[in-house]
């Protein structure tokens, strides 16, 4: 019995964080955001070298074959530095779908290239989570029609994983679709609208016969978004503490005032248990399958709530500077906001946690 990270897991954390602190500095993040790019290509390549894109992919397919806890630790490090890379869709959700539901040809065709970071796959499952401005995606004879909205990491993707209304998932070549980037508050990840008009699609066979592969893909996406929020919120808390120790008013550092100290303590008291929750949810996903879905949903919804709380309080601790572009705190604020809505707002996801426990 040891509820803790292993030596290897801590080394993984250190190596990823160690690189990102310099490689994805706020300066670098700003550059990407201001240039309007979809990702930091240098960072993406460097992360490929560290095995990040193949974290969940079997060694047989060129990955490193680690577990969801390792995938979550990487997400946490990326969130902590608001790294502009398409990790959630391309490195996590797409390979999960392909590994669970793909044919061996599909696995051989996609997984090694994903692991190497050679292709970026955007993921369009919003219509099956909570349809908004779309009439859904129809699937007829291997062709897809309709509008996929909020396709995650979708702006400059080479291919798409699209879920149709029958619950099946399909690989679609980017050249076959019309797409448009949707500007969001968070300029460190992209979402796109993808138009499908009798578009040729390569269906993942396992997803045509069972709803499970799609649900598993969404579960994993939720878990990883939650881990990203954990990292982003931790950085906001760390920055708050640092600021509260430096900033002086009334001849005292503001962190000595209980009003400010208590905001920091409340953030810490809310956020610290989330770390254990992410560890457990990520561990349970592989090791305790009967709890996997409920835990992924809880992690997603709870981190959305705590993330929002920390984002707001941290901004307040920083006073007027907190809302300026100069300080850049808003990159984390927006990252947390983005993670909250994608793949289901907390109210919707909690309903699924209730369903997963047989309460409805």
313 binds another protein (CB under 8 A): no
Closest CA to 93 of 227, 282, 225, 182: 225
- Contact pick of 196, 230, 301, 311 for another protein (by CB under 8 A): 301
DSSP for 252-318, please give it.
Answer: EEGGGSHHHHHHHHHHHHHHHHHHHHHHHHHHHHHH-HHHHHHHHHHHHHHHHHHHHHHHHHHHHHT
* Beta carbon nearer to another protein, 2 or 325: 2
Number of residues that bind another protein (CB under 8 A): 47
Distance CA 105, CA 103 (A): 5
- Contact pick of 245, 248, 316, 319 for another protein (by CB under 8 A): 245
Backbone angles phi, psi at 182, to 5 degrees: -100, 125
Is 195 buried (19+), middle (13-18) or exposed (0-12) by CB count in 10 A? middle
- Contact pick of 26, 116, 208, 253 for another protein (by CB under 8 A): 253
* Beta carbon nearer to another protein, 325 or 359: 359
Residue 9 Cβ vs another protein, minimum distance, rounded to whole Å: 8
256 binds another protein (CB under 8 A): yes
345 binds another protein (CB under 8 A): no
CB 199 within 8 A of CB 173: no
DSSP state of 183: P
Distance CA 173, CA 61 (A): 21
* Beta carbon nearer to another protein, 119 or 218: 218
CB 145 within 8 A of CB 138: yes
- The span of 125-133, 150-158, 278-286, 328-336 binding another protein (CB under 8 A) equals 278-286
Binders of another protein among residues 204 to 243 (CB under 8 A) are 241
- The span of 55-63, 101-109, 155-163, 343-351 binding another protein (CB under 8 A) equals 343-351
Enumerate binding residues for another protein (CB under 8 A).
Answer: 1-6, 9, 69, 241, 244-245, 252-253, 255-258, 261-262, 264-266, 268-269, 272-277, 279-280, 283, 287-288, 295, 298, 301-302, 305, 347, 350-351, 353-354, 359-360
């Amino acid at each position: 019995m040891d509820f803790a990270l292993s030596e290897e897991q801590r080394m993984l954390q250190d190596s990823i964080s160690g690189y990102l602190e310099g490689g994805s500095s706020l300066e670098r993040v700003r550059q990407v955001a201001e240039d309007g790019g979809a990702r930091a290509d240098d960072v993406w390549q460097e992360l490929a070298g560290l095995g990040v894109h193949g974290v969940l992919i079997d060694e047989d397919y060129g990955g490193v074959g680690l577990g969801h806890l390792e995938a979550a630790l990487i997400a946490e490090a990326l969130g902590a530095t608001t790294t502009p890379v398409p990790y959630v869709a391309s490195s996590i959700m797409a390979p999960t779908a392909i590994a669970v539901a793909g044919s061996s040809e599909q696995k051989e065709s996609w997984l090694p290239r994903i692991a190497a970071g050679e292709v970026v796959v955007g993921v369009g499952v919003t219509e099956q989570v909570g349809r908004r401005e779309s009439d859904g995606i129809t699937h007829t004879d291997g062709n897809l029609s309709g509008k996929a909205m909020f396709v995650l990491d979708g702006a400059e993707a080479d291919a798409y994983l699209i879920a149709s209304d029958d619950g099946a998932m399909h690989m679609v070549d980017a050249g076959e679709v019309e797409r448009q980037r949707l500007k969001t508050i968070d300029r460190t990840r992209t979402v796109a609208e993808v138009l499908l008009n009798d578009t040729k699609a390569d269906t993942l066979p396992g997803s045509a016969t069972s709803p499970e592969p799609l649900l598993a893909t969404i579960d994993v996406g939720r878990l990883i978004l939650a881990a990203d929020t954990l990292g982003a919120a931790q950085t906001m808390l760390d920055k708050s503490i640092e600021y509260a120790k430096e900033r002086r008013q009334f001849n005292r550092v503001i962190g000595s005032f209980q009003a400010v100290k208590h905001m920091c303590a409340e953030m810490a008291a809310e956020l610290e248990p989330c770390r254990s929750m992410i560890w457990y949810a990520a561990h349970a996903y592989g090791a305790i399958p009967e709890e996997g879905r409920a835990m992924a949903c809880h992690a997603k919804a709870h981190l959305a709530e705590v993330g929002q709380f920390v984002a707001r309080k941290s901004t307040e601790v920083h006073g007027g500077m907190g809302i300026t572009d100069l300080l850049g705190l808003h990159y984390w604020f927006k990252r947390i906001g983005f993670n909250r809505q994608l793949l289901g707002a907390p109210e919707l996801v909690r309903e699924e946690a209730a369903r997963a426990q047989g309460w409805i």
